């Protein structure tokens, strides 16, 4: 007998409906799975066979053919187990074929018939809600019920065992419905418990630069000797970025759902991510990929901060690979059968020491490096990322007295207020364009929306000649000046905005 039931595959962070077609006939007993299944899916045969037998159902001794359609989509992972099991039960008359209509089944089976959580159910629910107009029911593992019902607007029910599924399909029991209230969850979780800027003493120049970065979405480089607070400052950036809307939270949550990183009880990501991958990270770990394509660090940092601590230590491959996501706001993963896309709009924060030993230019400690070592180190760190960084700021060693005296450093909340106001202006400015903040402006935008007054133009011209700036550096100065003007709620870019922005290009002078 023939049966057909829907399941769902993942392509990047989108869910794609897959039909599981099952046919039984009287040929030699055999169980074949066709329709471009990856090896991870082929293992479903063993799990489904054991799960059905151990749950007291018949595993038909017949020729079983299961086809996963569409055939041109490569299927990965174990999430089709549940649909395959249901298809076999229907085709062998153990449940009514009609009971599968209008249902989408997703879940992994353990050998004893338990339904185990799978990654990506929230992303699947979001896509199915968009694609399916005719009221479907999404059935997910009980452990995924909370996350899958975050999006709302689609009926989601959770199942714990294959026996439970059968009783449900026979109409004997109902399954628990998901009823996560995303808005309520956001209100509960959105407490902003990032560490606070008030804990960082001194370092006013660096804090000012970080405020500008956050206000305009500019990538930033912090340089300075060890122990001056670079890491401490970077960790506090999410605390001054604008708070997330529910829509933005859901977009980030989709990514964490696909990565299998959501908590069962609080499945919403309500805060901007802060990711600080170690410098030994591989290109796949950083950019995404792998046998079952997983989002990388650049995607997990979407709408938040990607922090590369001591970035000259990262491999050349990784640094080179960051160019594309920085440029496009997404990563493209090319595989034999298809091209996947993961979003990756993040703020890049990089730190580095002034030299390999860290103490070049330190007021109290001596640098041990040779001139050549220093030159090589600088050259390495001047590579692929530098032309994506708008702001460079020094984080110098401080005097003991400065640390002691600073009793009332400003709180993150106070800084964030100014950042939000500057972002408000940008939202207004870019409302008809496909960009969100000053850092995203292209050359054309600069000419149209960033006119300089006469003094500003003169200062920029002088710096251009005396620092022999590149055209790229020139444009970046204007973007940063635009953000500084936004922080002051000024319509026109003035001389002092340009002058401050030029200060943040000190690396152009060094090389
Ligand atoms: N400006 C500062 N205010 C308060 N504590 C600081 C400051 N700078 C450094 N520290 C202390 O020194 C430690 C090391 O700082 P860290 O941020 O790791 O330095 P870096 O990353 O520059 O090497 C911090 O955990 C903090 O306790
Ligand atoms: Mg550090
Ligand atoms: Zn040194």
**Level-2 CATH architecture, domain 2-180:** 2-Layer Sandwich (3.30)
Model confidence at 479: pLDDT above 90: yes
Three-state secondary structure call for residue 338: coil
* Nearest Cα residue to atom 11 of ligand 1: 229
Residue 406 confidence (pLDDT): 66
**Location of each CATH 3.40.50.300 domain in the chain:** 197-240+259-410
Q: pLDDT (tens digit, 9 = 90+) per residue, 340-390?
A: 899 999 999 999 998 888 888 888 889 999 999 888 887 776 666 887 899
- pLDDT reported for residue 234: 96
Q: Is 353 in the pocket of ligand 1 (CB under 6 A)?
A: no
- Single out the residue of 272, 343, 367, 357 nearest to residue 312, CA to CA: 357
Question: According to CATH, where is 3.30.230.10 located in the chain?
Answer: 2-180
Which ligand has an atom closest to residue 354 CA?
3
pLDDT of residue 441: 92
- Looking at the predicted structure, is the pLDDT value of residue 421 above 70? yes
Tell me which residue has its CA closest to atom 1 in ligand 1: 201
Whether 408 has a pLDDT exceeding 80, the answer reads no
Architecture of the CATH domain 197-240+259-410: 3-Layer(aba) Sandwich (3.40)
Predicted pLDDT of residue 363: 83
Asked if 463 contacts 242 with a C-beta cutoff of 8 angstroms, the reply is: no
pLDDT tens for each residue of 222-272: 999 999 999 999 999 999 999 899 999 999 999 999 999 998 888 999 999
**Residue bearing the CA closest to ligand 1, atom 6:** 229
Residue 445 has pLDDT above 90, yes or no: no
Annotate 258-270 with DSSP letters as a single string.
Answer: HTT---SSS----
Report the pLDDT value the prediction gives residue 261, as an integer from 0 to 100.
95
Q: Is the pLDDT of residue 407 over 90?
A: no
Distance from residue 196's CA to the centre of ligand 2 (Å): 17
Q: What's the pLDDT score for residue 467?
A: 82
Strand partners, 383: none
If you average pLDDT over every residue of the chain, what do you get?
A: 91
Q: What is the DSSP letter of 133?
A: -
Q: Are 22 and 66 in contact (CB under 8 A)?
A: yes
Q: pTM here?
A: 0.92
Query: At 138, which helix (H) or strand (E)?
Result: strand 137-141
Q: Is the CB of 107 under 6 A from ligand 1?
A: no
Does residue 511 register a pLDDT over 60?
Answer: no
63-100 pLDDT tens trace: 999 999 998 888 888 999 999 999 999 999 999 999 99
Q: Which ligand is nearest to the CA of 373?
A: 3
For ligand 1, is residue 494 a contact (CB within 6 Å)?
Answer: no
């Amino acid at each position: 007998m023939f049966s057909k039931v829907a399941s769902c595959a993942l392509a990047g962070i989108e869910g794609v409906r897959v039909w599981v077609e099952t046919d039984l006939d009287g040929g030699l007993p055999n169980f074949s799975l066709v329709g471009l299944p990856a090896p991870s899916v082929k293992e479903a045969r063993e799990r489904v066979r054991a799960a059905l037998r151990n749950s007291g159902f018949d595993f038909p001794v017949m020729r079983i053919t299961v086809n996963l359609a569409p055939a041109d989509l490569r299927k990965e992972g174990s999430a089709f187990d549940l649909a395959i099991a249901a298809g076999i039960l229907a085709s062998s008359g153990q449940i009514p074929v009609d009971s599968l209509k209008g249902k989408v089944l997703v879940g992994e089976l353990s050998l004893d018939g338990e339904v185990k959580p799978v990654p990506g159910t929230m992303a699947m629910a979001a896509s199915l809600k968009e694609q399916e107009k005719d009221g479907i029911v999404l059935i997910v593992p009980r452990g995924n019920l909370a996350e899958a019902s975050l999006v709302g607007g689609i009926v989601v029910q959770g199942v714990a065992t294959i026996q439970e599924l059968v009783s449900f399909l026979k109409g004997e029991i109902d399954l628990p419905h998901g009823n996560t209230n995303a808005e309520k969850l956001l209100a509960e979780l959105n407490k902003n418990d990032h560490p606070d800027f008030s804990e960082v003493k001194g370092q006013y120049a660096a804090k000012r630069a970080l405020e500008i970065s956050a206000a305009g979405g500019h990538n930033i480089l912090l340089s300075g000797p060890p122990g001056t607070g670079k890491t401490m400052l970077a960790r506090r950036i999410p605390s001054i970025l604008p708070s997330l809307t529910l829509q933005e939270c859901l977009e980030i949550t989709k990514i964490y759902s696909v990565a299998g990183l959501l908590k069962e009880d609080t499945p919403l990501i309500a805060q901007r991510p802060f990711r600080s991958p170690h410098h030994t990270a591989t290109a796949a770990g950083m950019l995404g990929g792998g046998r079952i394509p997983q989002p990388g660090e650049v995607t997990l940092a979407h709408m938040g901060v990607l922090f590369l601590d001591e970035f000259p230590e990262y491999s050349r491959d990784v640094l080179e690979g960051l160019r594309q996501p920085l440029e496009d706001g997404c990563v493209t993963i090319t595989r034999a059968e298809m091209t996947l896309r993961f979003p990756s709009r993040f703020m890049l924060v990089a730190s580095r020491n002034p030299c390999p030993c860290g103490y070049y230019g330190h007021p109290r400690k001596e640098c041990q490096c040779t001139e050549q070592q220093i030159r090589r180190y600088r050259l390495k760190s001047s590579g692929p990322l530098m032309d994506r960084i708008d702001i460079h700021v020094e984080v110098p060693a401080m005097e003991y007295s400065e640390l002691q005296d600073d009793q009332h450093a400003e709180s993150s909340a106070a800084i964030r207020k100014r950042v939000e106001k500057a972002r408000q202006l940008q939202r207004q400015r870019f409302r008809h364009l496909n960009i969100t903040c000053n850092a995203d402006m292209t050359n054309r935008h600069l000419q149209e929306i960033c006119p300089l007054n006469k003094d500003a133009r003169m200062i920029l011209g002088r710096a251009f000649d005396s620092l022999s700036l590149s055209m790229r550096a020139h444009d970046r100065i204007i973007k940063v000046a635009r953000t500084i003007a936004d922080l002051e709620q000024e319509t026109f870019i003035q001389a002092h905005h340009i002058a401050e922005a030029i200060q943040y290009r000190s690396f152009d002078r060094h090389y």
